[in-house]
Amino acid sequence: MITVATAVGLFIAAAICEIGGVYLIWQWRNRSQPTWFALVGVVALFLYGFVQTAQAFTFGRAFAAYGGVFIAAATL
């Protein structure tokens, strides 16, 4: 049960890092927000790489499963 909770938590963290990072960079580029928006976005995208590879199962499976999480999170 702990591994399921860990996997779900990592998927949620990955979605926040990926979507949040891209959104912050978009805000900086298209809405003339301060440069720190872009810097925080880059850090979030960098962290996404680490979060996504922290899954207990193989990368291919983790990435495929994350696709559904990303679609759900992006829709929200």
Alpha-carbon distance of 43 to 36, in angstroms, equals 10
Count of structural domains within the chain:
1
pLDDT digits (tens, 9 = 90+) for 5-18: 888 899 999 999 99
With H, G, I as helix, E, B as strand and everything else as coil, classify residue 36: helix
Tens of pLDDT, residues 30-39: 999 999 999 9
Integer Cα distance of 23 and 46 in angstroms: 14
How are the residues of the chain apportioned to helix, strand and coil, as percentages rounded to the nearest 5?
A: 85, 0, 15
Residue-range definition of the domain harbouring residue 56:
2-75
